[in-house]
Amino acid sequence: MDMEKMRLRLDVNNMMDTAVGAHGITQKELDGVIPKAKEAFEYFKKNRGSGMMGWSELPYNQQEVVKQLLDTAAAIRSRFKNFVVLGIGGSALGPTAVQQAINHLHYNELSDQKRPGPRLYVEDNVDPERMLALLDVIDPAQTCFNVITKSGSTSETMTQYLVINDILQQRLGDAAKENIIATTSADKGNLIKLVKSQGYKSFIIPDGVGGRFSELCPVGLLCAAVCGIDIELLLKGAAYMDSLCSESDIYRNPALMAAAMQYIAMGKGANISVMMPYADSLKYMADWYCQLWGESLGKRYALDGSEVFAGQTPVKALGVTDQHSQIQLYTEGPFDKVITFLAVDEYRGDVAIPEGCPDIPAVNFLCGHTMQELIKAEQLATEYAVMKSGKLSHTITLPQVNAFTVGQLLYFFELETAFTGAMLGINTFDQPGVEEGKNATYALLGRPGYEDKKAELDARPAKNPRFII
């Protein structure tokens, strides 16, 4: 593969005042944040691979793990008809995004002969109807279940596990363990205890890898390998993006340039980040990005303890679909957004638009073109309309959507997030705001040790019936 030909491109022209006018970023503003961007780069460089930045070394330190993953994936493909991910958050969003990006858009509906692996289901919720629906379409005895939770105390994932394990025990008895693979911490939490007591096959989530940064470790790589995706190429793409972002010069580091632009935009009141891919294959990349960006940057406190209420609300959209639902707001609404367009140079297939409707010029003009021409024209036209309206946007272009370019894209967004968080002066890698809801859930369901939280909940103000209509 010619890596240079598969290199992602970042175009930030439409972030600048020279393109969008008064609400754009000036050269003076950009020059003014260069020192802060360089500080962010040096902070990342100094700390990469340590603490909760363990994810930064995943493209390089998993050779033995990858071999084990590939061997396990081959065994799963030879034995099971279905592969089910039991997880939530990064444990589900990453595998879903990569599967949608690289494999057939109707993967599960392909015949066994055409499908490169078992049917895949990612169960990322505890809606009881969803679990019942899954059980309607799979035979648990012919299904491998990958339970993913680092702590082993994630209520949603462990609920899924309890339901599935009970079914498997009833059907298979002691052999039930052969249908379960655990992905968890090496020595902390509840799931690793079950691995040891039940004899489950397991893979380890490295200590320095948080959920939203975990797609390039066994959390995401096992699922991808099971479904026939080239995980070595995925990691190679991530390493290539790392090399492209190895300098502190924002004009030679695309992730650092993107971070600098977003940092300035936030300071100018653009507190919404819209991710809008123009490819159905990249649709769920927006979902994955929403967790990465929102959970990493949405922080009340800075590292120095001061209240900052930082962050930028992520919003997902899909081109062309959401041109018919959201673009009206983006072009004529408030100046509070940055839109990231994801474009593709060459789609993996094309459909010619045949001749027809010769008496209707408003339809016939399409004839002789292709659907690829149409979607690319709509992307460029929407980019132009947003620019003309004076709103901020930038475009990331993938030459093709494949394992190598998706690896680049994942790592690009992880680096951009790390650089932006450093520029904001926050802890990019914790999520204290998530814990309150978790703790309240534990208390409501009677988890031991949460009696004080239950008392706190019981003492909350009573709801006024007047406002329940």
Spot the catalytic one: 28, 46, 114, 324: 324
Task: Judge whether 106 counts as a catalytic residue.
Answer: no
Torsion of CA 317, 319, 325, 326, to 10 degrees: 50
Q: Cα separation of 402 and 281, whole Å?
A: 10
Task: Judge whether 295 counts as a catalytic residue.
Answer: yes
Cβ-contact 386, 339 below 8 angstroms:
yes
Spot the catalytic one: 295, 383, 414, 416: 295
The angle that helices 231-244 and 63-79 make with each other, rounded to 10 degrees, is 150
Q: Cα separation of 189 and 181, whole Å?
A: 16
β-bridge mates for residue 310, sequence order: 299
Spot the catalytic one: 36, 104, 438, 453: 438
The side-by-side arrangement of strands in the sheet containing 313-316 is 9-11, 392-398, 337-344, 272-277, 313-316
Cβ-contact 203, 68 below 8 angstroms:
yes
Catalytic sites, residue numbers:
295, 324, 438
